Structure 1
Amino acid sequence: MKRFIPFMKTDPLVSVIRLQGVISATGRSAVLNDAGTAQMIEKAFARGKPAAVALAINSPGGSPVQSSLIAARIKRLSEEKEVPVHAFVEDVAASGGYWLACAADHIWVDESSIIGSIGVISASFGLNELIARFGIERRVHTAGKDKSMLDPFRPERAEDVARLTSIQAQIHAAFIAHVKRSRGSRLAENADLFTGEFWLGQTGVDLGLADGLGHLKPKMKDLFGEKTRFAVYGPKRGLLQRFGTQIVEDVTGTMDARAAYARYGL
Structure 2
Amino acid sequence: MSDQWKEENSDNWKEQSSAQKQQAPQDSTDTKTWKLLEKAVLASVQEQKRSRRWGIFFKSLTFLYLFGAIFLFSPSLTMDKKSPGTSHTALIEVRGMIADGEEASADKIVSALRHAFQDSDTKGIILRINSPGGSPVQSGYIYDEIQRLRQLYPHIKVYAVISDLGASGAYYIASAADEIYADKASLVGSIGVTAASFGFVGTLEMLGIERRVYTSGEHKAFLDPFQPQKAEETEFWKTVLNTTHEQFINSVKQGRGERLKFDAHPELFSGLIWTGEQALKMGLVDALGNSSLVAREVIGVDNIQDFSIQDSPFDRFAKRFGASVAERLAIWLGLQQAPAIR
Give the TM-score, by structure 2 length.
Answer: 0.66
Misfit runs of 4+, over 4 Å = 249-253
2:108, 2:209 → 1: CA distance?
41
Aligned to 1:198: 273
Q: Is 1:117 matched with 2:190? A: yes
Question: Gaps spanning 5+ residues in structure 2: where?
Answer: 1-82, 333-342
Can you list the C-alpha shifts for 1:158-205, whole angstroms capped at 9, x where unaligned?
111101111111111111111111111111133111110110001100
Q: Is 1:14 matched with 2:89? A: yes
**What count of residue pairs does the alignment treat as equivalent?**
244
Can you list the C-alpha shifts for 1:23-81, whole angstroms capped at 9, x where unaligned?
123x2x4x422223332221121123311111000110111111100111122112211
Deviation at 1:238, TM superposition (A): 4.1
Pick closer, same or farther for the CA change 1:249–1:93 going to 2, 3 Å.
farther
Higher share of residues assigned helix: 2
Pick closer, same or farther for the CA change 1:247–1:96 going to 2, 3 Å.
closer
Q: Secondary structure at the match of 2:184?
A: coil
Q: Secondary structure at the match of 1:22?
A: coil
Q: Secondary structure at the match of 2:163?
A: strand
Aligned to 2:287: 212
Q: Secondary structure at the match of 2:240?
A: helix
Aligned to 1:52: 124
Percent identical residues? 34
Q: Is 1:161 matched with 2:245? A: no
2:189, 2:252 → 1: CA distance?
10
Q: Secondary structure at the match of 1:130?
A: helix
Aligned to 1:264: none
Can you list the C-alpha shifts for 1:2-42, whole angstroms capped at 9, x where unaligned?
x75xxxxx6642111101011123x2x4x422223332221
1:94, 1:177 → 2: CA distance?
16
In 2, are the aligned partners of 1:12 and 1:224 still within 8 Å (CA)? Answer: no
Greater relative CO (CA pairs within 8 A, separation 6+): 1
Match among 149, 157, 172 for residue 222 of structure 2: 149
1:37, 1:214 → 2: CA distance?
22
Give the TM-score, by structure 1 length.
Answer: 0.84
Mapping for residues 25-104 of structure 1, pairs under 5 Å: 25=100, 27=101, 29=102, 31-82=103-154, 83-104=156-177
In 2, are the aligned partners of 1:17 and 1:53 still within 8 Å (CA)? Answer: yes
Deviation at 1:91, TM superposition (A): 0.7
- Aligned Cα root-mean-square deviation (Å): 2.3
2:323, 2:130 → 1: CA distance?
18
